């Protein structure tokens, strides 16, 4: 293909997709190419200057906080939504996280998702698109005692629907009555193979929890069934949890007998091997939890609100 022909193809593809507003599937059909080929053509158009973007930022991000957090914790990416007296922070954070997720989908084959209110908001912020080669999988078992709206089963199904992707359930509870029951069911091939696929994910989308607040506190109430267990839990010094896996303020994983050994989920070591791990959190109550997750490298991409980001910077030397 000649350079002039190549450039005319780049211009035609860019016009159809960015100006005429066609979907990638529609633009590819008009140009007689596959969607994956069109994606490569659009990438080349950006790289060769056929397309130039200008951002008219109306306060949708707090750049100085993003830069400071990225430098402090060597993060792959950071997005901080600005605060406003009349604005609930979660929708803005969810929109930023959804954009980060979409950007990361290029070339991905497996996306793994946890549970919770923040993750649900991110999924609902996604536009419906077609990713038929993608698989969506659970990172944690179905938390059947939770509101179905934020359960892992519900979220993996909804994310799969919005991406027009295949999705796989982790067909087991998230919390078991005993370590023995968990070990027995985990040995089943349908369970072990799904968890193994989660470990091979290209992208993980997770909430970062504070066990004293919100959904994470509900999880703790399921796990700590006596005052003695609850006391032992807090004596271990938990700062937060990701996928029901607890860690201290330095990010060190905590194995708390009778609690940690009853959760069906990817382990922290497995989560850390996923190339793009997007942690989403809102509110200053999450500051210590998020700091621990970042110090321990449990996630490499953070999306949060401005008050949380500022509180983390205040507490970073605690």
The pLDDT tens digits of the residues spanning 156-196 come to 999 999 999 999 988 888 889 889 999 998 889 889 999 99
CB burial of 152-190 (b: ≥16 within 10 Å; e: otherwise) equals bbbbbbbbbebbebebbbbebbbbbeeeeebeebeeeee
Helix 35-47 × helix 3-14 angle, to 10° = 100
Quick one: residue 40, left, alpha or beta (phi over 0 = left, psi -120 to 50 = alpha)? alpha
The answer for residues whose C-beta is within 8 angstroms of residue 69's C-beta and 6 or more apart is 75, 78, 80, 294, 302, 309, 312, 313
pTM of the model: 0.79
* DSSP structure string for 100-117: HHHHHTTT--EEEE--SH
Helix and strand numbers (H, E) in the chain are: 14, 9
Contact 26, 32 (CB under 8 A): no
Q: Which residue has the tokens 């490569």?
A: 40
Low-confidence ranges of the chain (pLDDT < 50): 1-4, 54-58, 148
Task: Report the pLDDT value the prediction gives residue 167, as an integer from 0 to 100.
Answer: 92
Q: What is the phi/psi pair of residue 245, to 5°? A: -105, 125
Domains of the chain: 3-47 (1.10.10), 63-315 (3.40.50.1360)
Half-sphere exposure of 173 (CA within 13 A, CB side): 18
- Sequence-distant (6+) residues with CB within 8 A of 120 are 149, 150, 154, 155
pLDDT number for residue 146: 53
CA distance 290 to 241: 9
pLDDT tens string 263-296: 999 999 999 999 999 999 999 999 999 999 999 9
Rounded to whole angstroms, the Cα distance separating 41 from 54 reads 20
The whole-angstrom separation of Cα 203 and Cα 228 is 38
């Amino acid at each position: 293909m000649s350079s002039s022909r190549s450039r005319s193809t780049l211009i035609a593809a860019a016009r159809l997709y960015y100006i005429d507003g066609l979907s990638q599937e529609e633009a590819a059909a008009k140009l007689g190419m596959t969607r994956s080929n069109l994606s490569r053509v659009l990438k080349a158009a950006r790289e060769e200057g056929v397309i130039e973007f200008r951002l008219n930022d109306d306060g949708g991000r707090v750049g100085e906080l993003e830069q400071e957090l990225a430098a402090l914790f060597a993060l792959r990416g950071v997005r901080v939504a600005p605060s406003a007296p009349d604005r609930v922070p979660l929708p803005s954070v969810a929109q930023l996280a959804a954009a980060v997720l979409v950007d990361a989908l290029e070339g991905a084959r497996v996306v793994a998702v946890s549970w919770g209110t923040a993750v649900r908001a991110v999924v609902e912020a996604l536009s419906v698109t077609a990713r038929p080669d993608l698989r969506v999988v659970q990172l944690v078992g179905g938390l059947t005692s939770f509101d179905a709206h934020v359960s892992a089963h519900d979220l993996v199904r909804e994310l799969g629907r919005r991406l027009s992707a295949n999705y796989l359930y982790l067909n087991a509870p998230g919390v078991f009555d005993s370590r023995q029951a968990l070990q027995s069911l985990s040995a089943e091939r349908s369970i072990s193979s799904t968890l193994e696929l989660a470990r091979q994910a290209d992208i993980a989308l997770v909430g970062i929890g504070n066990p004293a607040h919100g959904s994470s506190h509900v999880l703790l109430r399921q796990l700590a069934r006596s005052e003695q267990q609850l006391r032992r839990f807090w004596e271990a010094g938990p700062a937060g949890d990701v996928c029901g896996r607890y860690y201290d303020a330095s990010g060190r994983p905590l194995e708390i007998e009778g609690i940690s050994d009853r959760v069906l989920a990817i382990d922290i070591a497995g989560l850390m091997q996923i190339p793009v791990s997007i942690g989403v959190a809102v509110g200053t109550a999450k500051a210590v939890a998020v700091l621990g997750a970042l110090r321990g490298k449990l996630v490499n991409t953070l999306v949060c609100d401005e008050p949380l980001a500022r509180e983390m910077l205040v507490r970073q030397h605690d």
